[in-house]
Structure 1
Amino acid sequence: MTDRSLSANRWRMLLADVVNAPVIRTVALLALCAAYIQGPLTKIFDFPGALAEMDHFGLHPAAFFAVVVIVFELAASAMVVSGFLRWLGALALAGFTLLATLIALRFWELPPGMDRMMATNAFFEHLGLAGAFVIVAAIDLSRGASK
């Protein structure tokens, strides 16, 4: 091996050590789940707003769906961050994200303009988020339940 390939390999190993550090992994998992932690907390502190959101999307009874969404998002996020059945929490959030995206971000029904562009961008961002949760589940399942 050349000095250059040894140096590149050392950098790769150093980077692997950094991104695999427990604190970095925990922060990254918290970031991945941030919307699923912030959303339910907002719903808890503004329950009338949560009810209005459920009504807006045609989810009735609104109180039932609001409570289910709050509990689900917090529980699944806790599973992903803590490592307890991480794969299950990640797959649940991936499925939830896809379903919520299809309900809330139907950009194809909007007329051309800023609202459609914003909904289109958010739709595809949510697809990426769901994909990231699938990758988390795949890694967890392939490595076992280790953190």
Structure 2
Amino acid sequence: MMNFLASRFARVLARVVLTFVFWSAALAKLIGFNEGVAEMAHFGLNPPAVFNVAVIVVLLVGSALVIFDVFAWLGAGILIVFTALTIPIAHNFWTMSGPVRLAEFHVVMEHISLIGGLMVVACMSAMQRRVR
């Protein structure tokens, strides 16, 4: 097991899986562009088409930097800022009530954990670069 965890394959797989939520969302917004635009409009982001394109670019570029471990710290930072910004824009549970409030609260907790995972990737990438 230790050999697998130390392998390049495991490190790449971990980065692909960690960023799955981002690059898969970008692909969904690209394939279903009109739905992505509608989502941006729903959250009051104007002009929605421009925001949809910006989100696609941010998610794909951030994910690629992390996955390919090229400026992984920058890619992780981009995705961290994006994830943090989604909390007040799309998951503002403190303005809600009932079961929706609880569901959005859990989404925010997941977002915070995801931010922690991205921080770990940035730290690991920096440590690995020092070793080389």
Instruction: Answer whether TM exceeds 0.5 for this pair.
Output: yes
Distance 1:145 1:130 in 2: 23
Name the structure 2 match of 1:37: 23
- Backbone CA RMSD of aligned residues: 1.7
Q: Would you say 1:122 and 2:104 are equivalent positions?
A: no
Measure the CA separation in 1 of the matches of 2:11 and 2:71. 16
Size of the aligned set, in residue pairs, is 132
The one-letter code matched in structure 2 to 1:141 is: A
Rounded to whole Å, the distance in 1 between the matches of 2:130 and 2:21 is: 24
Computing the radius of gyration over CA atoms, which structure comes out larger, 1 or 2?
1
Offset, 1:20: 2.0
**Unaligned stretches of 5+ in structure 1?**
1-14
Aligned 8 A contact 1:84 1:145 in 2: no
User: Any stretches of 5+ residues in structure 2 without a counterpart?
Assistant: none
Paired residues for 1:58-137 under 5 Å: 58-111=44-97, 113-137=98-122
Q: Is the 8 A contact 1:37 1:74 kept in 2?
A: yes
> Are positions 1:22 and 2:8 aligned together?
yes
Q: Deviation per CA, 1:51-85: give whole Å up to 9, x if none.
A: 11111111111111100110110111011000111
How does the TM-score come out when normalised to structure 2? 0.92
**Cα distance in 1 between the residues matched to 2:83 and 2:89:** 10
Distance 2:72 2:127 in 1: 12
Name the residue aligned to 1:138.
123
Query: Which letter does structure 2 place at the counterpart of 1:117?
Result: L
8 Å CA contact 1:76–1:90 kept in 2: the answer is: yes
**Residue 6 of structure 1: aligned partner:** none
- State the Cα distance separating 1:145 from its structure 2 match: 7.4
Q: Quote the sequence identity (%).
A: 33
Shift in CA distance, 37/145, structure 1 to aligned 2, threshold 3 Å? farther
What is the rounded CA distance, in whole Å, between the counterparts of 1:145 and 1:30 in structure 2? 22
TM-score with structure 1 length normalisation?
Answer: 0.83
Distance in 2, matches of 1:75 and 1:84, equals 11
